């Protein structure tokens, strides 16, 4: 049987790093950021690629707006999936620790079984409330 070795501190450190990156990603791609880009494009002179009334450059701010509107769902999905992954890995790590503790208890019970078999003293098992 293979042996699992998870270092919870290491897992939590990585999860913290991922959470930090996710927050930065979310802050970089907000609606406000796209509005700021959109507004700056409208204010730029036409010679620098800014908006021209009824001209070619008027398409640039609209295109930026369309890109945002088209991609907002994908951006939210990315953030949701990463966040769900963070919670899932944290929960799985906690379950691993819980199971590790349960296995330690099972090993102790097996050791007590040997002692009880030799001594006839079954008092250790009273905590489990077996019907005898």
Helices 59-119 and 8-28: crossing angle in degrees, nearest 10, is 160
- Confidence at residue 15, expressed as pLDDT on a 0 to 100 scale: 92
Q: What pLDDT score was predicted for residue 23?
A: 87
Q: Is the pLDDT of residue 30 over 80?
A: no
Q: Give the span between the Cα atoms of 31 and 38, in whole angstroms.
A: 10
The set of residues, in sequence order, having a beta carbon less than 8 Å from that of 8 and lying 6+ positions away, is 93, 96, 97
**Cβ atoms of 82 and 18 closer than 8 Å:** yes
Q: Is residue 64 over pLDDT 70?
A: yes
**pTM for the full predicted model:** 0.59
State yes or no: pLDDT of 13 exceeds 90.
Answer: yes
Mean pLDDT throughout 20-31? Answer: 83
pLDDT of residue 37: 75
């Amino acid at each position: 049987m293979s042996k699992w070795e998870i270092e919870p501190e290491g897992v939590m450190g990585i999860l913290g790093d991922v959470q930090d990156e996710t927050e930065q990603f979310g802050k970089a791609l907000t609606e406000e950021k796209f509005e700021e880009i959109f507004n700056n494009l409208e204010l730029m002179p036409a010679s620098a690629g800014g908006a021209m009334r009824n001209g070619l450059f008027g398409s640039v701010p609209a295109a930026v707006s369309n890109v945002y509107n088209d991609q907002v769902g994908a951006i939210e999905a990315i953030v949701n999936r990463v966040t769900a992954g963070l919670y899932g890995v944290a929960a799985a790590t906690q379950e691993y620790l819980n199971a590790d503790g349960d296995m330690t208890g099972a090993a102790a019970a097996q050791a007590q079984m040997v002692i009880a078999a030799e001594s006839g003293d079954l008092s250790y098992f009273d905590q489990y409330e077996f019907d005898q």
